């Protein structure tokens, strides 16, 4: 499931303030369980009703408690059945995302207090079978069966989609044959009733020979209290329906078991369908009418591109004003407050290095993290709208064929497109992919999408070196980004992801529905908070180090700590001088360029600002175009011509390609680490650096004979 997360959108006629900084370490506040008295409920079992009045609350795990055994409740179901929405309604912000042991597959867990018991609730990835075809399905199967290090569940909550009741019953047959206590949660029943195919929970329970069935609406939370009451009443066991046979999970060949009894399960599902009253399914629904357009080979692609364009623009245009306000007015208020606080202690306190660390380091970092939240929040909202409405599954079908060359399905196209707006929310969008290996592959490709923060660099150098063809140069940079994604993707598939094979793509299309605003906003806030908690510490540490390096004097007349007049005279400048010769084969063996690239590791937006600072050129409120045509552009041309031996244009192209391909911004690296682990993050950073260097050297060595 997804839980989940930057860079602003510079425009041609408008200069943007420089955004960089470190994030304050936000402490996690303990969640205290809040008791709530459930109304007297009723549990459906074979059509009978039993009353149970209970006290329930949701609480964080109780570390150090002396429970002999905490009940383990595993939620399992097909993809797109509303299971995760229901899980979030039960736990809300108190759920935690974790990796399954030894995998990159994400599980969501949380503690639920029922009476004097604490249950461990586990939400598994969606799966169509207990015979897995992907790592995610394998983890779901192991969680239900208690295999390969996964504890045995005390009860399985099988989530069934009423709009696909036949397929759901076949899956339920496998769950029931595990012989564990099982409670059925029916979702999408409201939509099924509108289509004339609703299912009565009591009638279905009777057809299942007494297996308890509860109707739940994951979007509103309706029925969740009754579900938990029913679980509490049946922890000691539920019936095994006639026609099904229990299997010993401790001694079973899963493949042989699943395949050998397939016909028996289909026959059992057909018998259950005969016993429940289903109204006519032949009527044409609104979903059917919409799919005639949205799944059309021509109009479907046009509609998809239009929706992607709106999604892309939402994360750039809508987030821009909010980012500017945070980076401008809000920053000024905060800096004024800190300055007032320092002068309250001493009139000269603002001249100390400590004041510089607080304002230009920690406060700057806090503001920077806040500027990441608008595009992240908007992206989470757009993704939730697309997923909850039912369109995301259609988009996967529409773009599936285009992504087959990388052994990915159509859903992989969405994060890559979003990456051209901002890499950070694009990584958040990888959570929509069903397979963990696909998520890792796409996550490693996202940084090669040319985000809008790189555009300011393209514009300045394009107008500095190729004034008459500047537009063409910028366009070709985006073409290079697309080619780079394809090339690196094919390379990764042949080297690191050889086991990632194209599988027949089958997905049920959920009916279209209107997303619930409250549930959507709650989910977005949880994901934003997860991002802040997960990425802040890395950003804090690295940018604090950058500030320290720029504040340490390295020459006799450089000044004092925190008051270095010329950045070239700081330790940071010494490091830039040391790194510069590495870029000699690429034509920009110059400390100004290497210093800008080092700063660009923090955020690509500040590359141009770093160049202006190192050249001591004050561009004021000039646009990127004016900077490229003005004194900053002239200074860059002079140093690049000198470092390249008179081939400044070739060196400029090499610098642009390096900027396109090398390590993404620090926030993106932090998000890579948060989602995929430190090893994948380091591999992605290394891949970007190596690719960028090779491209830059090849471009310069080739173009210096042409330009």
Binding site as annotated, residues for GTP: 77-84, 123-126
Kindly give the pairing relationship between strand 48-52 and strand 96-99. Answer: unpaired
**CA neighbours within 13 Å on the CB side: how many for 291?**
16
For residue 191, what are the CA distances in angstroms to 18, 272, 287, 358, 705? 49, 21, 11, 55, 66
Nearest to 6 by CA among 674, 521, 668, 670: 668
Kindly give the pairing relationship between strand 106-114 and strand 55-59. Answer: antiparallel
DSSP conformation class of 329? I
Kindly give the pairing relationship between strand 182-187 and strand 155-161. Answer: parallel
Per-residue b/e over 640-658, b at no fewer than 16 CB within 10 Å?
bbebbeebbbbbbbbbbbb
| Binding-site residue positions | 77-84, 88, 92, 123-126
Separation CA 237–CA 624 (nearest Å): 69
Can you read off the two tokens belonging to residue 326?
Answer: 């945070």
DSSP character string of 214-268: EE-BTTTTBTHHHHHHHHHHTTT-----TT-----TTS--HHHHHHHTHHHHHHH
Separation CA 544–CA 362 (nearest Å): 7
Separation CA 250–CA 651 (nearest Å): 64
| Binding-site residue positions for Mg(2+) | 88, 92
Separation CA 176–CA 213 (nearest Å): 13
């Amino acid at each position: 499931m997804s839980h989940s997360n930057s860079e602003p959108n510079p425009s041609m006629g408008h200069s943007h303030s420089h955004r960089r900084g470190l994030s304050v370490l936000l402490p996690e506040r303990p969640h205290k369980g809040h008791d709530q008295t459930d109304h007297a409920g009723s549990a459906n079992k074979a059509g009978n009703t039993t009353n149970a009045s209970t006290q329930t609350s949701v609480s964080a795990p109780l570390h150090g408690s002396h429970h002999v055994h905490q009940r383990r409740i595993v939620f399992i179901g097909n993809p797109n059945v509303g299971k995760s929405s229901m899980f979030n309604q039960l736990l809300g912000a108190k759920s935690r995302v974790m990796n399954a042991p030894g995998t990159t597959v994400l599980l969501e867990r949380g503690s639920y207090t029922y009476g004097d018991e604490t249950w461990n609730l586990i939400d598994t990835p969606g799966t169509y079978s207990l015979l897995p075809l992907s790592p995610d399905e394998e983890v779901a199967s192991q969680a239900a069966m208690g295999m390969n290090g996964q504890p045995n569940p005390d009860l399985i909550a099988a989530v069934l989609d009423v709009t696909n009741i036949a397929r759901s019953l076949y899956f339920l047959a496998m769950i029931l044959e595990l012989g564990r206590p099982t409670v059925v949660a029916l979702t999408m029943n409201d939509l099924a009733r509108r289509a004339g195919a609703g299912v009565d929970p009591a009638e279905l329970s009777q057809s299942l020979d007494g297996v308890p069935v509860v109707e739940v609406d994951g979007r509103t939370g309706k029925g969740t209290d009754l579900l938990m009451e029913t679980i509490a009443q049946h922890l000691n066991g539920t019936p095994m329906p006639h026609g099904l046979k229990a299997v010993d999970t401790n001694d079973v060949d899963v493949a042989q078991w699943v395949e050998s009894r397939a016909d028996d399960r289909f026959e059992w599902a057909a018998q259950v369908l005969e016993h429940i009253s289903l109204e006519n399914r032949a009527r044409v629904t609104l979903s059917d009418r919409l799919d005639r357009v949205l799944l059309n080979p021509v109009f479907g692609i046009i509609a998809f591109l239009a929706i992607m364009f709106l999604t892309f623009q939402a994360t750039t245009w809508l987030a821009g004003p909010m980012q500017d306000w945070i980076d401008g007015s809000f920053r000024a208020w905060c800096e004024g407050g800190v300055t007032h606080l320092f002068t309250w202690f001493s009139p000269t306190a603002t001249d100390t290095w400590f004041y510089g660390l607080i304002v230009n380091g920690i406060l700057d970092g806090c503001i920077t993290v806040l500027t990441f939240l608008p595009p992240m929040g908007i992206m989470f909202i757009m993704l939730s709208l697309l997923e909850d409405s039912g369109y995301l599954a259609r988009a996967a079908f529409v773009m599936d064929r285009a992504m087959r060359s990388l052994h990915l399905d159509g859903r992989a196209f969405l994060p890559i497109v979003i990456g051209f707006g901002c890499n950070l929310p694009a990584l958040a969008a990888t959570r929509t992919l069903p397979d963990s290996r696909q998520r890792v592959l796409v996550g490693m490709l996202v940084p090669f999408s040319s985000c809008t923060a790189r555009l300011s660099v393209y514009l300045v150098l394009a107008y500095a070196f190729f004034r008459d063809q500047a537009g063409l140069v910028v366009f070709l940079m985006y073409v290079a980004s697309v080619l780079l994604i394809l090339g690196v993707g094919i390379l990764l598939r042949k080297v690191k992801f050889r086991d990632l094979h194209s599988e027949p793509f089958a997905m049920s299309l959920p009916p279209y529905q209107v997303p619930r605003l409250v549930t959507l906003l709650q989910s977005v806030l949880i994901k934003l908070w997860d991002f802040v908690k997960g990425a802040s510490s890395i950003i804090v540490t690295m940018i604090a180090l950058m500030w320290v390096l720029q504040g340490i004097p390295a020459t006799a007349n450089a000044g004092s700590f925190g008051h270095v007049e010329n950045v070239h005279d700081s330790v940071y400048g010494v490091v830039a001088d040391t790194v510069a010769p590495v870029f000699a084969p690429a034509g920009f063996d110059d400390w100004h360029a290497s210093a800008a690239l080092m700063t660009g590791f923090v955020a690509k937006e500040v590359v141009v600002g770093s160049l202006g600072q190192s050249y001591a050129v004050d561009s004021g409120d000039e646009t990127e175009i004016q900077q490229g045509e003005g004194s900053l552009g002239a200074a860059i041309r002079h140093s690049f011509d000198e470092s390249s031996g008179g081939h400044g244009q070739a060196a400029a192209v090499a610098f642009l390609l390096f900027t396109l391909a090398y390590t993404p911004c620090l926030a993106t690296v932090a998000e890579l680490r948060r989602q995929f682990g430190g090893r994948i993050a380091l591999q992605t950073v290394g891949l970007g650096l190596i690719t960028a260097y090779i491209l830059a050297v090849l471009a310069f060595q080739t173009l210096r004979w042409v330009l």
